[in-house]
């Protein structure tokens, strides 16, 4: 990798000149260890992650530092990357549902699939091939950028393993996004019991977004035990640059609100918002065909939509106390969730050991924060009841690998 001062690329212009292969590169270490699968370009107007992954693989291959395990870097939506658009037929990062993936079997002809379905089948096969050759634990890293400017950040499903990995990054960590979005690759990998971290490296067209995504990949490789940071000078430099860019934002935040939009909403974000900008309750954020959209509570804005494609207008997030995280970790390690079914209005689902069934008419006192504390962040309604679930392998720590 060239020096970060001079090796600056405009992701938008470079993408138009690049034909990304499905496998961006791989590096196999001298000794067994974790398998790190890194995907860049799940959205076609976000090529920075793919460029960053290629940089890291080239540096590892050319410098040959001591390395444990395997790094496999893959391109996401190659068709959309070639066009420079978020997606062609449908959002590639909302398709990863078990029932949807089951319909993409090899028996289905290519002509019966839309563009993203073909991309999904190919990427799924590439991930499966990497998993089949693994020699250790699995970590998945999904590299993205955003349409709005602002500070880079990480996104995780709230398991202790994911927390440990994400906290190694010198960037804010967002909890609770998995409660709001279905069909993402992060959800798919987490539901299979693997560690998974998403990273948003900055604005789509910003040259620094490549550097930030590169820093995220180096940091995850170090945190996973694949590599020592001092073995690669670029890794320490990239991490320092990332830390400098994220000063002033709380280290942990959680999603409080998602403003979902439909194609015919005529949604238009008010100009000038950036990621993590503080907003006050009642502040004008956007407009649609129904009128003004104002903040329902005070907090910080995340992912304001400044592109034509997308189903998320914006999110509101708030800071999470580090003390809450420590209490939460202790409660999970001591398995306090086993006491929940003895409380009125709560019972364990006999068919799903990771799920609880909550009767809101009886368990009125049950706060959302208590469920979050014990890892139950996914909620859905079923027949007048609330079903809450937690991720498999929540209390496993990668420090034990």
pLDDT at 3: 44
pLDDT at 364: 63
How does pLDDT run across 148-178, given as a tens digit for each residue?
Answer: 999 999 999 999 999 999 999 999 999 988 7
**Domain 254-319 belongs to what architecture?**
Beta Barrel (2.40)
pLDDT at 267: 96
Euclidean distance between the first and the last CA atom of the chain, given in angstroms as a whole number: 29
DSSP three-state, residue 26: strand
Asked whether 246 and 275 are in contact (CB, 8 A), the reply is no
DSSP three-state, residue 38: strand
pLDDT at 218: 97
DSSP three-state, residue 382: strand
pLDDT at 353: 76
pTM of the model: 0.88
- Does the domain formed by 11-245 have CATH 3.40.630.10? yes
Instruction: Give 337-372 as a DSSP string.
Output: GGGGGGSTTEEE-SS-TTEEEE-TTT-TT--HHHHH
Q: What does the buried/exposed string (b/e) look like for 109-136 if buried means 16 or more CB atoms within 10 Å of the residue's CB?
A: eeeebebbbbbbbebbebbeebeeebeb
Asked whether 342 and 288 are in contact (CB, 8 A), the reply is no
pLDDT at 322: 87
pLDDT at 110: 62
User: Could you tell me the residue ranges of all domains in the chain?
Assistant: 11-245, 254-319, 337-390
192: left (phi over 0), alpha (psi -120 to 50) or beta: alpha
pLDDT at 383: 76
Integer Cα distance of 379 and 364 in angstroms: 16
Per-residue DSSP letter, 13? H
pLDDT at 43: 96
* Percent composition of the chain: helix, strand, coil (DSSP 3-state, to 5): 35, 25, 40
pLDDT at 1: 38
pLDDT at 184: 94
What six digits make up the tokens of 119?
A: 């991309």
Asked whether 303 and 314 are in contact (CB, 8 A), the reply is yes
Asked whether 151 and 174 are in contact (CB, 8 A), the reply is no
What six digits make up the tokens of 385?
A: 């009841």
Integer Cα distance of 313 and 262 in angstroms: 9
Integer Cα distance of 98 and 73 in angstroms: 23
How does pLDDT run across 124-156, given as a tens digit for each residue?
Answer: 999 999 999 888 899 999 999 999 999 999 999
pLDDT at 4: 47
Q: Which residues of the chain are modeled with pLDDT < 50?
A: 1-7, 16-17, 399-400
């Amino acid at each position: 990798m060239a020096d970060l001062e001079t090796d600056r690329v405009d992701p938008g212009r470079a993408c138009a000149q690049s034909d990304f292969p499905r496998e961006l590169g791989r590096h196999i270490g001298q000794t067994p260890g974790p398998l790190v699968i890194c995907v860049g370009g799940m959205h076609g107007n976000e090529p920075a992650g793919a460029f960053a992954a290629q940089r890291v693989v080239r540096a590892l291959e050319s410098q040959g530092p001591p390395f444990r395990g395997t790094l496999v870097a893959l391109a996401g939506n190659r068709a959309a990357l070639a066009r420079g658009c978020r997606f062609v037929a449908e959002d590639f990062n909302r398709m990863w549902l078990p029932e949807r993936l089951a319909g993409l079997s090899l028996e289905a002809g290519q002509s019966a699939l839309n563009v993203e379905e073909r991309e999904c089948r190919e990427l799924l096969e590439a991930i499966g091939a990497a998993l089949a050759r693994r020699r250790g634990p699995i970590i998945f890293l999904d590299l993205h950028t955003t349409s709005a400017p602002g500070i880079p950040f990480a996104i995780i499903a709230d398991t202790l393993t994911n927390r440990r990995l994400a906290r190694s990054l010198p960037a804010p960590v967002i909890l609770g996004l998995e409660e709001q979005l279905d069909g993402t690759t992060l959800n798919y990998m987490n539901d299979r019991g693997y560690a998974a971290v998403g990273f948003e490296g900055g604005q789509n067209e910003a040259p620094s977004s490549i550097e930030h995504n590169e820093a995220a990949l180096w940091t995850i490789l170090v945190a996973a035990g694949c590599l020592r940071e001092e073995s690669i000078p670029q890794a320490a430099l990239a991490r320092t640059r990332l830390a400098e860019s994220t000063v002033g934002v709380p280290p942990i935040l959680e999603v409080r609100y998602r403003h979902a939009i439909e194609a015919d909403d005529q949604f238009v974000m008010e100009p000038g918002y950036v990621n993590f900008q503080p907003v006050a309750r009642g502040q004008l954020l956007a407009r649609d065909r129904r009128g003004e959209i104002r903040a329902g509570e005070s907090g910080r804005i995340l992912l304001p939509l400044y592109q034509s494609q997308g189903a998320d207008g914006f999110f509101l997030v708030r800071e999470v106390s580090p003390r809450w995280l420590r209490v939460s970790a202790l409660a999970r390690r001591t398995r306090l969730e086993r006491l929940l079914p003895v409380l009125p209005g709560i019972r364990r689902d006999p068919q799903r050991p990771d799920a609880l069934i909550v009767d809101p008419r009886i368990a009125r006192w049950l706060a959302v924060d208590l469920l979050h504390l014990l890892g139950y962040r996914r909620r859905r309604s079923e027949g007048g009841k609330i079903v809450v679930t937690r991720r498999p392998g929540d209390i496993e720590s990668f420090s034990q690998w």
